[in-house]
Amino acid sequence: MFTREELEALSDRKLRNLCRRYQMQNVNSTLSKNRIIYLMTFCQTAINQFRQGKGLKSPGLASIEALAKIIEQMNTPTDEQKGLVNFSLDDDRRLEGQDGIDQEKLIRLGTAHILLEKAYKLLSE
């Protein structure tokens, strides 16, 4: 993804920042050369690790089906509930008293529902 020329043109500080940006904790070396090598090879290393079954793995069909059951148990939010969740997340306004407490619960459930649906769609492809 990065070329040697592209990386060699960067300052040591920028190389360090790139390593941090892509969450590369394994680059403990203070040598720019080691950072450059790591940045040049991390993409292919990640793909090879995936192919070898290291790190992230696809869940089995039973797990994906369990996720679908959780989504089904949560039910579908009403249009008004979706609206309140989106409004609350966008505007950060809260109701008073028990309404505010229930609003927070609804926000957490609504957010979880959205994320679970996204996860299900991603894992089902």
For residue 82, count other CB atoms closer than 10 A to its CB. Answer: 14
- Please report the sign of the dihedral spanned by the C-alpha atoms of residue 73, residue 76, residue 77, residue 78: negative
H helix intervals, the chain: 4-8, 12-21, 32-51, 61-74, 79-91, 97-124
- Going residue by residue through the chain, which has 125 residues, state the pLDDT in tens, using 9 for 90 and above: 788 888 889 888 888 888 888 877 665 656 677 788 888 888 898 999 999 999 999 999 999 999 999 999 999 999 999 999 989 988 888 899 999 999 999 999 999 999 999 999 999 98
Contacts of 38 (CB under 8 A, 6+ apart): 19, 24, 26, 27
Gap between the Cα atoms of 110 and 60, Å rounded: 26
pTM of the entire predicted model? 0.71
120, 67 Cβ separation under 8 angstroms? yes
